[in-house]
Amino acid sequence: MRILVIGGVAAGTKAAAKLKREDRSAQVKVLNKGEDISYAGCGLPYYVGGAIGTREELIVNTPQKYAGLTGAEVVTGCEVTHVDPAAKTVSGLLHGESFTESYDELIIATGAAPFVPDMPGKALPGVFPMRAPDDAVGLRDYVSANGCRRAVVAGAGFIGLEISENLLSQGLDVTVVDFADQIMPNAFDPEMADFARRKLKEAGVRVLTGQRIQSVTGTDKATGIVTDGGPIAADVVVLAIGVRPATDFLADTGIELFKGTVVVDELMRTNLPHIYAAGDCAMVRSAITGKGQWSAMGSTANLTARALANTLTGSPTPYGGCLGTGVAKLLPMLNVGRTGLTEAQARAEGFDPITVVCVSDDKAHYYPGASVFLTKLVADRNSRKLLGLQVIGAGAVDKMVDVAAVGLYAGLTIDAYDTMDLAYAPPFSTAIHPFVQACHVLENKLSGKLETFTPAQYAAGEAKDYQVIDAQPAPAIPGAKWVNLAQVNGPLEGIDKDAKLLLVCARGKRGYFLQNRLKFYGYTNTRVLEGGVTFNQVKVPLPAGATLPPEEVKRLKGLGCLWDKRTPDRFNVRVITRNGKLTSAEHAAVAEAAQKFGSGEVTMTTRLTMEIQGVPYQNVDALIEFLAEAGLEVGGTGSKVRPVVSCKGTTCQYGLIDTFALSEKLHELFYKGYHDVSLPHKFKLAVGGCPNNCVKPDLNDLGIIGQRVPEPDLNKCKGCKVCQIEKACPIHAVSLKDGKAVIDPTLCNHCGRCLEKCPFGAFTESTYGYKVYIGGRWGKKVASGKPLSKIFTSEQEVLDLVEKAILFFRDEGQTGERFSDTIQRLGFDYVEDKLLHGTVDKQAVMNKTVIGGASC
């Protein structure tokens, strides 16, 4: 039997290997277009992020190794362009030469190709699809070689979000754009996707939905993209919009296709005899609905290929259908998983879906590293059969997905899990498995014991007429009435039994306990908010004259929202401007935000942030969301590195260094890079382009000043009666001594204005550098910083010193003291020696617990 396999990677190589194991006499030949026949396509994002170190680690098998292991013949560089079912031949190009091969059985495993819209700029350097190892290698190399700091990823599916996480881990600013109105479209319901989106934004990823990419900008290389919403600047662009079946060469063969996929039956047979298909190019079926479903997953490719090989070698093996099962890592502590139907899909398929969103421990709560699962179950209301699951968590979401997938294949009801003996030990799970807990909650909801609003209903405003009851252990929802669950032994004082009450706690459990108790005491109209404040953004309008609790004021201050104490509930919100620099579009966004959400007024702070004035409490979240859509962030308070201040630098006539370039690096590395690092107090950085000190670097915790150190050649000095160098020096540090122009080093501030002024070339040579001051501050207790004795001659030296100073302050500073206090307590000489000559164990310092003492 002569079997041809068109395509390698997952399905092709799996089918060929299994065929040879089952029938050693079979002649199996793999025809592969590329040179890599078997690689880890799902591992590409992790190569970009550096978790996978080399290209070789992505290659599962080389053609030579694979042929030796399996006995299948492998031909690379072979593009099949035509299939003739009647003649049972395939033809195409082998390294540019025509060829024809005959077959007894044919397997089509050509997979899928990345979809790249036909748009201007798509071929520019710096634009990368993400499908093959060379794409990942090219992207990582390009980011490194070009010092990329901003990335745009088009596509918010699993691959796009995994690429985003790995670019973020490399220190890039990442913007994700998708035409759909949510991330992970068709995989997650909107409320689950919105929760994941909020977490991505909290981590610094800018997420824009409902925007189609129109073009890539740039001439010699990519400089950004243009979307329906306007331009977005970027140094590198990744196109992860999706894939399309690689089946164009089958158009005139008579093989049945549906939207480019090869239609197959449960034995992976096409409509033509002796022709089969598997992998991303094939249309399989849903295990739940029985309808055709495209499952472009490596797992589906391997499973269908193995089943196909069994069938061809005499053991017919039907493929049981797919569930759309998938998991992904979106952030270091944010994993997502799903299987089965979403609520929307279930309704579209004619089911009557009932759902629940619940929050449960992912392992014993007392075990180190314990976190939570946020789980959405979808079931059919009438049959109680499980239809789908979506889960988000910091830990092993795959275990939740796999438990659900087994139930879906078996057609189990949610009740079938009630007493199922699943694994338990504190490091791994809870005594009642978290999936079973979710089933129990949904059973209570089906029975009417638990009456709820889902997160989707709450977001849609269905609870707007309900009074919010805070059921948490301590009051935590501003404007809500707090009820101490432990003391509810009768009707609630001042609340009618027919009042509409929304019971809100951290997760939903205490809300259920309170509802159960209130029902006993005659309350008839209570609802529990599923997922509580862990999942939902709960806002309660403040009653007239009410003030916010101190805890909420403190929380908002940490976000850069400072309470205007003349009012009960208005805030001035600080917008970070990257050293005072904004684009015109960003300026327009700030102005629009001030008009829409605040008083219409914008002020500047001494840290060159813009402060939107008079924002009512209920508008704060909407304002922050609006600014994030424009690529802007709020912040700049707390015991941490503060926004960086910079002068104009080389755009000023006296500028000696590019202060914008340096301060932007400081912004990325330390304001953003150390954003979650607590320090003993605030730590302010400033960069001045010359000794004029316009932004007062020496009054900051660490100040950097551009220098141009003269290196005179006094052999060329003629001792002129009117010395042009003496005349040019603005601080009179130059004088004639013994017929030579001499610089007093105690007076010279290295401004460089003397250079090029001598007609005989005595003052032409110099060294550009940086003077660094430490321990300055202004405010209640002004202190001038003192310069380190070294003039730094490279930008990298300065960046390294800044990081060492921050780590030193975190390690040896005391809560509540500024860096100047630390220096005074330890002695300048000690600190200077540590910064210039000492070493810092960064990991040890970062592992310390530090309590900040900043009050603003």
Q: How far apart are CA 704 and CA 662, in angstroms?
A: 10
Burial class (CB in 10 A: 0-12, 13-18, 19+), 457: middle
The Cα–Cα gap between 397 and 504 comes to 25
Residue identified by tokens 């020496």 is: 698
* Cβ within 8 Å of residue 682, ≥6 positions away: 638, 639, 640, 642, 701, 818, 854
**360 with 435: CB under 8 angstroms?**
no
Cα–Cα dist 87/97, whole Å: 21
Q: Is 505 a catalytic residue?
A: no
Q: Return d(Cα 184, Cα 190) in angstroms, integer.
A: 9
The tokens for 10 are 């997952």
Q: Which of 42, 652, 720, 748 is catalytic?
A: 42
Residue 522, Cβ neighbours under 10 Å: how many?
10
3-class SS at 634?
strand
Tokens representing 95 are: 């390294």
537-571 burial, b for 16+ CB within 10 Å, e for fewer? ebbbebeeeeebeeebbeebbebbbbbeeeeebbb
How far apart (Å, rounded) are the C-alpha atoms in residues 234 and 218? 10
Q: What three-state secondary structure class fits 107?
A: strand
- Which residue, 353, 337, 440, 438, is CA-closest to 391? 337
| φ/ψ of residue 232, rounded to 5 | -135, 120
Answer for the pair 130, 161: CB distance below 8 angstroms, yes or no: no
Contact indicator for 399, 375 with CB cutoff of 8 Å: no
Give the integer Cα–Cα distance in Å for 78 and 37.
11
Residue with tokens 């935590």: 476
Let me know how long the chain is.
856
- What is the DSSP code string of 468-504? EEE-SSS--STTSEE--GGG-SSPPTT--TTS-EEEE
CB distance 620 to 561 below 8 Å: yes
Contacts of 373 (CB under 8 A, 6+ apart): 359, 360, 361, 362, 391, 392, 393, 395, 397, 400, 434
Side-chain-side CA neighbours of 633 within 13 Å: the count stands at 20
Contact 446, 381 (CB under 8 A): yes
Strands 275-277 and 105-108: parallel
Residues 6+ apart with CB under 8 A from 219: none
Residue 294's nearest CA partner among 275, 278, 306, 274 is: 278
**Could you tell me the two tokens for 264?**
């197959």
Nearest of 714, 695, 715, 713 to residue 705 by alpha carbon = 695
> What gap in Å lies between CA 128 and CA 123, rounded to an integer?
9
Strands 372-380 and 353-361, sheet pairing: antiparallel
Residue 502 token pair: 């929304």
Tokens coding 474: 């301590």
User: Any idea of the CA torsion for 215, 219, 221, 223, to the nearest 10 degrees?
Assistant: -60
Among 745, 828, 743, CA closest to 784: 828
Best CA proximity match to 300, nearest among 286, 314, 316: 286
Q: What is the spatial distance between Cα 376 and Cα 340, in angstroms, rounded to a whole number?
A: 12
Contact 132, 36 (CB under 8 A): yes
Which residues are marked as active site?
A: 42
